[in-house]
Chain A
Amino acid sequence: MNIQSGAEAVARRTGLTARGLCYDAGGKRLIDGMDISIAAGRRTVVMGANGAGKSVLLRLLHGILSPASGEVLCEGRPLDCALRARQAMVFQRPVLLRRSVRGNLAFALAAKGVPRRDRGHAVADALEQARLTHLADRPARVLSGGEQQRLAVARALIGGPDLLLLDEPTASLDPGSTHAIEELIQNAYQRGVTIVMVTHDAGQARRIADDVVFLNSGRVVEAGPADQVLNAPQSNAARAWLGGRLYLDSTP
């Protein structure tokens, strides 16, 4: 399913396409034949109920899970190490290393093969953008939840990725922290980073999304430009979700 056919030319540059994606775990099909294309340079928001397959989809797009069948293509090529290195991901619960804030950022650069002497400047930049400069030498894991997630986003962005995947980065954060995270995401978007974000929050989707993909039971039930999907949803699942009703039927 094409999110935006007009963006296809751009999508070929740095976008992502998934074809016939399936993924099983514990004998259950979690992703069931998904076709998705993520347009480069745009902000795609993935929505859907718990268990709809949002997090698994993100991991498949990022290449940290391998599909049972189907494939993920980047620039028309299957995802390989070099292509994966140009993506970054932020998890719902930030996984921070047992090091200082600065150490966490430097580690991401080291993993990208940036020589030690070139790391200082990039780390200082990232600290400033995430407004963490005053906490640079604090152990990362004693920061507040919001600060930890800011650090996780900054760490994901420090290598200069083309594509940033975020799995409910602001779930369980207060409005102030959510705003700070969204600001980091929007700044990255302004610099040309493609954004793919999972959220449960329709308000957040409205603030961020160019495109929305709505999932239900491991399938794409609706995808398209944000105002279309958010304001005039066609599928029952999306209509119920966005209308604030509890949608309990598992069929789209």
Chain B
Amino acid sequence: MTGFGSILAQALGLIASGDAALMEIIGLSLRVTLSAVALSCLIGLPLGAAVGAFRFPGRTALCVVLNALMGLPPVVVGLLVYLMLSAAGPLGPLALLYTPSAMVIAQTVLVTPIVAALTRQVVEDLNQEYDEQFKSLGVTGAGRVSALLWDARFSLLTVALAGFGRAVAEVGAVIIVGGNINHVTRVMTTTIALETSKGNLELALALGVVLLGIAVTVNAAVMGLRASAVRSAYA
């Protein structure tokens, strides 16, 4: 236990000193994950909302697929994106492999189904409540989707949060397509994996603490927002 205590103390020291290597890794992690979550929301929110708001042939099958894809193993996503981006793959000419862009792509593939599937559920529930009123007002098509997305905005924050949690914590996809290259594609999770195996537990634990801190902070912020929304009956 004393070993753990001293490692934790050193880890906290690293964080407090604002260690340059540490900050670089945290910065890249957040950049990659936030970009991936933003892209996933751009695709997943309208997709999920459309599936939630409309009835069409094949809808149930699509829901099953979306729900199943929520459980995609990150390493499988990493492998598939790797195959697409590798020199021999269809997107090889873009030369994106082992760049932060490749990591953003992999995390987007991982998170989009989560955002879409959860959005579908949220929007479907709201659509049931609004359906008659929307029919009465003549709200159809894209107008209905955007109105539902706006009115579900606070529930959808939690959806984005779920996506963020998945992306920021995963290691399998980014390590395959990013390659964990120092100063280029090294993010928090891949560094923790590497430094732990190297025995550099202070840096690994420092990153672990930061990762937990980010998770707690982001969750608290979203909960706070939602609580204030509930008070105005907007959520």
Interface residues of A (CB under 8 A from B): 59, 62, 64, 81, 84-85, 88-89, 91, 95, 97-99, 107-108, 110-112, 139-142, 156
Contacts and interface: CB of A to CB of B under 8 A. Distances in A.
Interface string B135-163: 11111000100010011100000000000
A156 B137 CA distance: 8
Given A64-B135, A139-B232, 12 more contacts: A59-B132, A64-B136, A81-B138, A91-B132, A95-B130, A95-B133, A97-B130, A110-B143, A111-B143, A140-B233, A141-B234, A142-B232
Nearest to B233: A141
A97 B150 CA distance: 10
B137 A111 contact: yes
A89 B138 CA distance: 11
B235 interface: yes
Give chain B's interface residue range (CB within 8 Å of chain A). Answer: 10 to 19
Interface of B: 129-130, 132-133, 135-139, 143, 147, 150-152, 232-235
Contacts of B137: 88, 107-108, 111-112
Contacts of A99: 150-151, 234
Contacts of A142: 232-233
Contacts of B151: 97-99
A98 B139 contact: no
Contacts of B232: 139, 141-142
Nearest to A142: B233
Nearest to A159: B137
A84 B233 contact: no
Contacts of A141: 232-234
Nearest to B152: A98
Contacts of B139: 111
A116 to B, nearest CB: 14
A62 B135 CA distance: 9
Contact of A139 (B133, B136, B234): B234
Contact of A111 (B129, B132, B138, B235): B138
A176 B9 CA distance: 68
Contacts of A107: 137, 147
